[in-house]
Amino acid sequence: MYCEKCHVSVVGDRHRCPLCQNQLIDQGGGLFEVFPVIPTIFRQYILLFRILILISVIASVVCVLANLIFWDNRWWSLFVLAGIGCMWLSLAIVVHKRHNMARTILNQAMSISFLVVLWDLGTGWRGWSIDYVIPIVFVTAMIVMAIVAKIMKLHPDEYLIYILQVALFGIIPIIFFLTGILHVILPSLICVAGCVIFIAALFVFRVEALRLELDRRLHL
């Protein structure tokens, strides 16, 4: 593309001159982009995603048909559909946040906790979500985040604030304990104790790095 006013050639997919905004003239030399096209993760693993989508559709259709054929006045197929939806939601979070593993672990812990509470409510609320799953999820998230930070040699500003958030969320089960809604107390007590110890360790060994990170993020 050529600008008659500025007497310059312009590459890329442009129709107006970037200098004077005059209409460009096509010189017939072919069109090419200056910057390379970087494929998204969906394009990189398009076959895998297509297989997963097909399996999800087949599983959903088969379960709904089986539910209708062997009708027993219970819509159990809805739970299958909800499970498939939860799987895709979790996968979407991992794909979207894959460049920051610490944030991904935090987001996964939060989303799993929210989803299991919904599952517990949807199945008549037996309390297994707050008795077992939520304490186990946050204890596991803290351990996994510490291991990932060590293995990947992450800089403190890449994981400290997220591991602190996981530990703070892990103290929430103490509310369940104080309100008396827990049926099984031990997992929540272990979770809260582990989170308190983890927070104390952060302030003892990483207090300066943690302070700098909080100052940077909160603009103090």
pTM of the entire structure? Answer: 0.66
**Which regions of the chain are under pLDDT 50?**
none
pLDDT of residue 153: 79
Q: Read off the pLDDT of residues 159-178 as tens digits, 9 standing for 90 and up.
A: 888 899 999 999 999 999 99
Instruction: Report d(CA 21, CA 62) in Å as an integer.
Output: 58
pLDDT of residue 40: 61
92, 133, 149, 169, 205 from 110: Cα distances, Å: 14, 12, 19, 9, 26
SS3 32: coil
Strands (E), the chain: 2-3, 8-9
The token duo for 39 is: 């494929």
pLDDT of residue 148: 80
pLDDT of residue 219: 66
Q: Where are the alpha helices (DSSP H) in 45-133?
A: 46-69, 77-96, 101-122, 128
